[in-house]
Amino acid sequence: MGEVLIVDDNVGVCRILHSVVEEMGHHADYVRTLGQAMKTLASGSYDVVLLDVHMPDGNGLDLLPRIRETKDSPEVIIITGKADPNGAELAIKSGAWDYLQKPLSLNTVVLPLKRVLQYRKASQNGPNPTVALKLDGIIGRSKQMQTCFDALARSAAGESPVLITGETGTGKELFARACHHNSPRSDQSFITVDCAAMPETLVESMLFGHKKGAFTGANRSQPGLIEQAHGGTLFLDEVGELPDSMQKAFLRVLQENRFRPVGGQKELRSDFRLISATNRNLDRMVDQGRFRKDLIYRLRGQTIELSPLRCRPDDIKDLVLFYSAKLCERHGVETKGISPDFLEAVLAYPWPGNVRELIHSVESALAEVAYAPTLIVNQLPVHIRVHLARASVEQSVAPNADSRTPERPGSADPLPTYKALRESVLHRAEKEYLREVMVTSQGAIQEACRISDLGRTRLYSLLKKHGISRVGWDSPAFSV
């Protein structure tokens, strides 16, 4: 029996939904404010929340992420009297199971409710799908990554097409490979089609293959990638770049599992599992007439949306530690420690190139560090240090904005007061100096006191003031 919480300010709606749920053989409670909803969720145990958007004490959509984070992570079905496409998009992106519009008919409520309760039952009875996953270099403990791992586990177990989306460098190809390696087809081939790198003139013959004499230069028959993928997985990387003519031809392959090599008389059959990836917004491309709507439906059996690294900072430390150890092993050198300032810097940087940029920055730092035992911030690539330095200056000057003199004519930046400027410059210089002292002394306080000519108490107080750790400057501060 499923447990359902109804959250709606209209008592009539609450009563109707209550009786619908009870007639389905499940138990329901209802509350009429968001505040009551959070209290009830904290004390009770629920599988599903039917959530109204416009509530007397706030907007239900704002509460959705918090509901998903409560102890049972109940699924949420949004019910609204004023549906709009943006609200629907926000709801689904925030993790809602479904988005329903009032007035409700019996079917519109019963069917999604039935599905969601079946799903909850299956996921509670089945083994944790992420436990046995072979992830091969995919690192992350953040909530976003856990969601991706769950989606990966479901995708790998099934046969329907998978679409992986995310910015460049988020690891779409790694997820595609992991999906294949965790699937029943893992002992067969994983065939990559780089849609972005294929010259338009080659696409057809590359995908479908060709027969001898099919065109000038076709001096022998050649099997295409679709044929090679038979029994295994076909991975269409950067699928948004697939030329229009090929979109149509490929759609037919997906519909019929059959294709004809260029210049061939006979159709061939290929049984492959399709995984696609893109950093493009395919829906927008459809609106612009640059991508076929019917093909999107075929690609999007299941979706895995990978978050940019800047949205999941909780994973940065794990990534640095994992790849630092892995790269040290690959290069045959001893594992390096990570200094607190290095970690502080990588946490502060926004990583526009995502995980790929982070890995290569760690590799670049390892190349710089040579035989020293610990990675320090100065070994990060210059463009990262420049970014951080600029951000630090902007940040340290900004809080003093109130005490600034009026803006200078013709200048975008108002001139700070002498006092504000002096304090900000001193603060930065002091912090940099202390870091240098700790690096040079490798964290030995006696040595740091000798270099700086400061007393132990004064040094401790300054380190505390600047949030600089006293440990971790000599050897691996964070065991790997």
Partner 1 sequence: MRVLLYENGRSQGVKRIRERLESRFPHGFEPLDSIEGLVYRLRHDRNYHWIAVVAVSDLEDLSALLSIREWLLDLRIILILPEIDRELTMSGHRLYPRYIAYGDGDLEDVAAVLEKMLRLNELEDPSLGH
Site string for partner 1, 224-263 (x = CB under 8 A): ----x-----------------------------------
C-alpha closest to that of 274 among 229, 228, 305, 304: 229
Instruction: Tell me the closest approach of the beta carbon of residue 241 to partner 1, in angstroms.
Output: 9
- Indicate which single residue of 202, 311, 415, 426 sits in contact with partner 1 (rule: CB under 8 A): 202
The stretch among 19-27, 91-99, 359-367, 397-405 that binds partner 1 (CB under 8 A) is 359-367
User: Is residue 330 near partner 1 by the rule CB under 8 A?
Assistant: yes
Helices 316-331 and 354-369 sit at what angle, rounded to 10 degrees? 50
The stretch among 17-25, 79-87, 194-202, 425-433 that binds partner 1 (CB under 8 A) is 194-202
User: Is residue 134 near partner 1 by the rule CB under 8 A?
Assistant: no
Instruction: Tell me the closest approach of the beta carbon of residue 189 to partner 1, in angstroms.
Output: 5
234 to 165, 188, 194, 230, 318: CA distances (angstroms): 16, 11, 11, 9, 31
- Indicate which single residue of 113, 191, 380, 397 sits in contact with partner 1 (rule: CB under 8 A): 191
Helices 418-440 and 382-397 sit at what angle, rounded to 10 degrees? 140
User: Is residue 197 near partner 1 by the rule CB under 8 A?
Assistant: yes
End-to-end Cα spacing for the chain: 45
> Is cis: bond before 103, omega within 30 of 0?
yes
User: Is residue 370 near partner 1 by the rule CB under 8 A?
Assistant: no
The stretch among 158-166, 195-203, 269-277, 403-411 that binds partner 1 (CB under 8 A) is 195-203
Question: The tokens 């019917």 sit on which residue?
Answer: 294
- The answer to whether 7 touches 37, Cβ cutoff 8 Å, is yes
Residues 5, 11, 13, 15, Cα dihedral to 10°:
70
* CA–CA gap between residue 256 and residue 364 (Å, rounded): 48
Choice between 222 and 396, CB closer to partner 1:
222
- Which of the residues 207 through 226 are near partner 1 (CB under 8 A)? 217, 219-223
Q: Tally Cβ neighbours within 10 Å of residue 458.
A: 12
User: Is residue 192 near partner 1 by the rule CB under 8 A?
Assistant: yes
- Indicate which single residue of 1, 92, 157, 196 sits in contact with partner 1 (rule: CB under 8 A): 196
- Indicate which single residue of 190, 250, 291, 322 sits in contact with partner 1 (rule: CB under 8 A): 190
φ/ψ of residue 204, rounded to 5: -65, -50
- Which of the residues 308 through 327 are near partner 1 (CB under 8 A)? none
47 to 19, 29, 59, 108: CA distances (angstroms): 17, 12, 21, 19
Write out the residues near partner 1 by the rule CB under 8 A: 168, 173, 177, 189-192, 194, 196-199, 201-202, 206, 217, 219-223, 228, 330-331, 356, 359-360, 363
